[in-house]
Amino acid sequence: MPSDLVLANRGVVDSFGHVSMRHPDRPDRYLLSRSRAPYLVVDADIMEFTLENEPVSHDERALYAERAIHGRIYAARPDVAAICHKHAPATIPFGVTGTDLRPIFHMAWAIGASIPIWDIADRFGDTNVLVTKNEMGDHLAHTLGSHRVARMRDHGSVVTGATLPWSSSPQCICKRMLNCSPQPSVLARFAI
């Protein structure tokens, strides 16, 4: 079962989230579904891409516009074997206000002690906040640095892992953590 479907069934990714993994035999490539809602992904939807985010086979299937997130993080981080990108509404206020999103229970260690915020406007100005160019993906990868998770201002988050389960586990942890967090009262102190 593709990870997209697992995370969609857990309510972790929305209709536009996506999960990839580095090719097990070709570290200069990665595997990502064609563009479709995660809860519809089947094995036949998986495609192979270069780290420049070009499909290896030239078929006519629709591609995710934000695949630059995946290829450019893999290019910058040889230790990363899997990436999950999501647009969880509960995480967006933490990126907009600059409020720390920190581990608040014992299993949350997987997200790391600090989570950087990437703001596309810092370098690319007023955009639709989608990471559609390799330069944007490179900038996001730079902000991510050695962290496992990065918040994306006005957008969502990206999570990396050394294995596919490790890239999806922090997504589940973040969702659980946000469910037990008093975020409205905490965030009310900050101007947006």
Closest C-alpha among 24, 25, 33, 26 to residue 3: 33
Each residue of 66-95: b (16+ CB within 10 Å) or e?
Answer: bbbbbbbbbbbbeebbbbbbbbbeebbbbb
The per-residue DSSP string of 135-165 comes to HHHHHHHHHHTT-SEEEETTTEEEEEESSHH
66 a catalytic residue: yes
Residue 18 pairs in a beta bridge with 85
Active-site residue (options: 48, 52, 54, 66): 66
The residues assigned a catalytic role are 66
